[in-house]
Each structure stands twice: as C-alpha cells, then as structure tokens.
Amino acid sequence: MLFNSYVFIFVFLPIVLAGFALLRGASNPLWPITWLVLASLFYYAWWRPEFLLLLLSSVTVNFGLGKLIIDEDLSRAQSRAVLTAGIIFNLSLLGYFKYAGFFVANLNNVVGAHWAVPNIVLPIGISFITFQKIAFLVDAHRGLVRNFTLLNYAFFVTFFPQLIAGPITHHSEIMPQIGPSQRRDFAADVAVGLSIFVVGLFKKVVIADSLAVYADAGYAMVKAGHPLDTASAWVTVLCYSFQLYYDFSGYSDMAVGLARMFGFQLPLNFYSPYKAASIVDFWRRWHITLSRFLRDYLYIPLGGNRRMPVRRYLNLGIVMLLGGLWHGANWTFVIWGAVHGLMLAVNHAWNALPLSRLPVLQGAKARRIAILVTFVAVTLAWVPFRADTLSDAKTMLAYLLPTTVDSFDSIRLFLKVQFWDFKGFVMVTQWFRPRELWPPVLPPDYLATGVRPLGPFLLWVGIATFTMPNTYQIFGRFQPALGLPEAAMKSSVLTRLDRPIAVIVAAMFLLSVLRLSHVSPFLYYQF
C-alpha cells in the first residue's frame, strides 16, 4: 500500500486517523499507540501477509536482545557478545533476502560454477528497519537507551509513515515523543501534517512521475540497443536526476506529514540537496538520515577523521561503497557508491588546501558555479545508479559526450524546437495536437522534438529546484521536522495556515489525486 494510492488516501488513512482521534481521549494512554502499532502491522501485511511474521519475529528478537543488554547485569564483554549476536542476526536477514542472489551469481562468475541463483522476494522496508534496529542495539550497548516497553519498541520500529522508505528514525527521536504526542493539539497537527503530506504527494505524483516518462524512455532505448542523440541523452539524465529528487523527497515529505497528523515529528531527510555547493554539502542535504546512520554507526567506528588523511579517505570510500550496496544488490550501486566516495575524498582533500579558502572562491558567483558543478557531478553519478547494467551505464555516459558535429546539432535542435521556435498559442496547440502518438511508436529522437512541452517543463522544474524554498523552509514556522536549521524556522515562507493556503493546498491535492490514474493510449503498429 503506497502513500500515493487510492486505498491509502481514501480508506486506510481516514480510518487510522479517526481511530486515533477517538482513542487519544481514552483513559488508558496506551490505546492510541496500540492502535497505531496494529494499523502499522496491517499496513505492512497489505502487500504480503507472510512477511508480517518475519517483521514480528525480528522485532521480538531485537526487543529481547535489547532488554538483555539494558536490564541484565551484563559485563562489558557479555554485552558486546549480545550486541554482536544482534548485529549478525539483523545483517543475516538482510543478507539473505537482499544479497543472496547477487552473491551466488557473482560466485558463479568467479569460480565458473552453476549454482542456482535464488530468486528471493525482498520484504519491503527491510533495509531501513535493519538500520534502525542495529542503531538501537548499539546504543543500548553504549548505555544510551534507558527504559522501554515492547509496545514502545514495536511502535518505534513499525510506525507506518517511516516503515517502508524512511526517514531512518532513531529511537532517541521517536520514543520520547510517545507520551507527549497525545497531549498535542490534534487539529493543528492534522492541519500541518495534511498540508505537508499534500506537498509531498504533489512532488511525487505530479512532478516526479511526469519526469519518469522521459527518463524511463531514454534508459529503455539504451537497454534496447537504440542509439540516442546527445540532446536526448542529456534530457534523459536530467529528467532522472530531478525525478529521483522529487520522488524520494516527496515520499519523505509525505512520511513527515503523516507522522505529524498523529502528533509525531520525524527527522529531516532532504534539505534542497541540489542547492549544495559541494559533494560534502550534498550529503548533508540528501537522505540525511542515511548519512547520519552511516556516519554514527560505520564511519566513526572505523576511525572517522581522527586518523591520517589517507585513512580518512579510505574510511569514506568504505562507507560509500557499503552505502551504495545498501541501495541494491547490483554492481551499478557499488560503482555509484565508489564514485561518491571518490568525490567526497577529493572534496575533503580540496578543503584541506589553503587555495580553497581564497576570497575569490567564497563569493556568490563562485558559489553559483560550485552549485552547478556539484549538480552536474551528482547527475552524472546517477547514471550507474539508474542503469540496469554497467554496460548500459557506460553506453549512456558515452551518448552524453558531444563527440561530433551532429551531437551539437541535436542540442541546437532541441533548444530551437522547444524554446526559440516558441510561437505562443500556435506552439501550445501543437502540444495539444491530436494523434500526438501517431505514428504510435515515437521516433528515437522524440525527446528533441516539439511533440511534448518537455523543454519548458524541465526548465520550470530546474528553476523551481534551484530557486524555490523547500518544504521545510515553507512550513518552517510549524516545526515540521526534527533537526531543522534554526534559520529555516525563523525565515519560514508561511507564517499562518489560512484560507488562501487552503485553496492552494486543495488544488494541489486534487491534481495529485487525479494523477493517480492514467488513460494510457494503446500503442500499436498498424499491421
């Protein structure tokens, strides 16, 4: 059950919200939390009920291990042994479900064997849940976890807004909110949460899904072995870059908004990452909760930046490689992680040079150039992340390089058709022209034609991304997320939620809901 589905928006959420509203007035403060845990388990079981057993077993084992570490009078060595067992247990589950097939396939390649590659269905959210549980056990071992109950622990792990795709919450953020959440202003939380949810839904369904059409088309052509001109290749990778941002950050916004409806604040996960002026800065703004986990539970234990620079860069490389592999069991993700590890190391090395602190490199102009360079680097790094195989990634990267005069011609044609030849209403009617999919199969260079208003759309998305405030800057006054910079709260775009805002939010909601279903023209060859 995705957040962007009819059943979630019109059935599940209203029922859970109504139940929560009723129960929060009950004499027993455990009831609303019990209700949310049950709703979360139902939500998890919706896709494949059999995985509920896995989730419950995992929660029970981790709860038991946590209790053992905290409540029993264990020596340091005993506590470490229990922690090690817990980490092995959690990583084994992740390893089996996510990496067994990848491991066997690669082993077959290396030793020339023919073992059957297991086709294991990945339980949703397992990557996120595993990190949460490991962080909890590590902190219990460090003495950072005090008292907790099975209900609180189950709530922390399974709370449905963050269960499937994060943000990766920390127990120290969620558990202290359990009691106070029921004493908050429910109507105000629903108003703020619903508004943030709608913004996230709009980002995901209207912007990201619209861009996905073009990104998917370009990558599908590469996969099918069709040539792609330079303009189309750039349009494809740019569309994917923006698609990924609006998709993932939109989903995170929805999670933050949903949690807020129930009186909880989730941690900040995205903060205008494409406005970053360096790769280091990018990772402080992109998937912030993952970066935080990797930093606290991998990078720092490896030695962090307390060692020699070379060791520090090696640590960064290891962290990013594993971070890449966490995204998926494919060498494409490993390469993506390695590229980012390398870029981070270069960035840190550059920062260590006195040259980097020259006044000329500190001005607004230099910052704008740095933002552009960072964005292009990140966008190019998304190519192996998106491609199905390393070979596809290589092909796409090759198409991006303008090697011949034709390459520049395709870019010129794209700009000409999409912008310079713009003839007002005549052009607009061309976008709306009938039989726009006739011939039904679009020509390979369709991205660079005037069939769709892709150029203006991409331009609008780019301008919005680089100049507009993000969701948390818009709603800063209402403390939408944990870990929000003080400045964002003070310079909040919205100072009140009133009728004009309601009109805009309602329009965004309707547009988003209307986008949930499509009339797909039937594409066929006339034969």
Partner 1 sequence: MIESGYLRSLAGSLAIWLGLFLAVTWTIDPYGVSPIRIALPGINVLKPKRLDIDRVLKPYEVWRYQPRTIFLGTSRFQQAIDPSVLDGTRFAPAYNASIPKGSVAMNADYLRQYVRLDHNLRTVIVELFLNNFLGPPDAGAPSAWSEFIGNAVTLFASSDTLWASIATLAHNVVNGRPTFEIKPGGYLYYPPGHNPQGPFDGFVTWMWSPDRGEPDRPMLYPSVFESFREIIEIARAHDIELIFVATPNHAYVDYYYDVVGAWGLIEEWLVKLSRQATVYSFAQPNAWVYEPVDSRMAYWNDTFHFSLTMGRGMLAALARLPMPDLPGDFMERLTPERVASHIESRRGAVRLWAQANPAFVMRALERRKWLAGQAVRKPE
Among 23, 135, 194, 244, binds partner 1 (CB under 8 A): 194
Contacting partner 1 within 438-467 (CB under 8 A): 438, 440
The smaller minimum CB distance to partner 1, of residues 420 and 524, is found at 524
**Closest separation between CB of residue 193 and partner 1, Å?**
11
Q: Does 511 bind partner 1 (CB under 8 A)?
A: yes
Q: Which amino acid is at 222?
A: V
CB of 507 to partner 1, least distance (A): 5
Least distance (Å) between residue 502 CB and partner 1: 4
CB 220 within 8 A of CB 523: no
Binding-site size for partner 1 (CB under 8 A) equals 47
Residue 288 C-beta: closest distance to partner 1, Å: 26
Q: Which is nearer to partner 1, 309 or 439 (CB)?
A: 439
Does residue number 118 form part of the binding site for partner 1 (CB under 8 A)?
no
Structure tokens that stand for 380 in this block: 């190019």
Other residues' Cβ atoms within 10 Å of the Cβ of residue 299? 20
Is the sign of the CA dihedral 384, 349, 293, 257 positive or negative? negative
The answer, yes or no, to whether the previous bond of 439 is cis (omega within 30 of 0) is yes
Closer CB to partner 1, 348 or 477, in the complex? 477
Respond yes or no: is residue 348 known to be catalytic: no
Kind and range of the H or E run holding 195: helix 186-201
Q: Which is nearer to partner 1, 35 or 475 (CB)?
A: 475
Closer to partner 1 at the Cβ: 421 or 436?
436
Q: How far is the CB of 181 from partner 1 (least distance, A)?
A: 18
The residues with which 267 forms a beta bridge, in sequence order, are 482
What's the token pair of residue 465?
């991304």
- List the one residue from 69, 129, 192, 461 that touches partner 1 (CB under 8 A): 192
Which region, judged by CB under 8 A, interacts with partner 1, from 190-198, 261-269, 339-347, 368-376?
190-198
What are the residues whose beta carbons fall under 8 Å from the beta carbon of 261, sequence distance 6 or more? 17, 189, 190, 193, 194, 197
Helices (H), 112-185: 126-141, 150-158, 160-163, 171-174
Among 352, 429, 439, 441, binds partner 1 (CB under 8 A): 429
DSSP 388: S
Joined together, the tokens standing for residue 343 give 């870029």
420 or 432: CB nearest partner 1:
432
Q: How far apart (Å, rounded) are the C-alpha atoms in residues 456 and 463?
A: 10
With the C-alpha atoms ordered 365, 473, 215, 161, is the resulting torsion angle positive or negative? positive
Site for partner 1 in 197-216 (CB under 8 A): 206
Candidate residues 280, 419, 434, 483; the one interacting with partner 1 per rule CB under 8 A: 434
Binding test (CB under 8 A) with partner 1, winner from 41, 129, 190, 400? 190
- Tell the smallest beta-carbon distance from residue 388 to partner 1 (Å): 23
Q: Is the dihedral of CA 503, 506, 512, 515 positive or negative?
A: negative
The alpha carbon of residue 70 and the mean position of all alpha carbons in its chain are separated, in whole angstroms, by: 33
* Residue of the chain from 478, 480, 482, 488 that contacts partner 1 (CB under 8 A): 478
What token pair was written down for 31?
């009831």
Smallest separation, CB 433 to partner 1 (Å): 7
Handedness of CA 299, 302, 308, 312 (dihedral sign): negative
Q: In sequence order, what are the residues at sequence separation of 6 or more whose Cβ sits closer than 8 angstroms to the Cβ of residue 47?
A: 1, 124
Which one is catalytic: 327, 340, 348, 518? 327
What letters, b where the CB count within 10 A reaches 16 and e where it falls short, cover 431-470? eeeeeeeeeeebebbbbbebbbbbbebbeebeeebeeeeb
Using the rule CB under 8 A, is 490 a contact of partner 1? no
CB of 498 to partner 1, least distance (A): 4
Q: Which of 70, 300, 302, 497 binds partner 1 (CB under 8 A)?
A: 497
Site of interaction with partner 1 (CB under 8 A): 187-188, 190-192, 194, 206, 425, 428-429, 432-435, 437-438, 440, 477-478, 495-499, 501-503, 505-507, 509-511, 514-527
Query: What amino acid positions are annotated as catalytic residues?
Result: 327
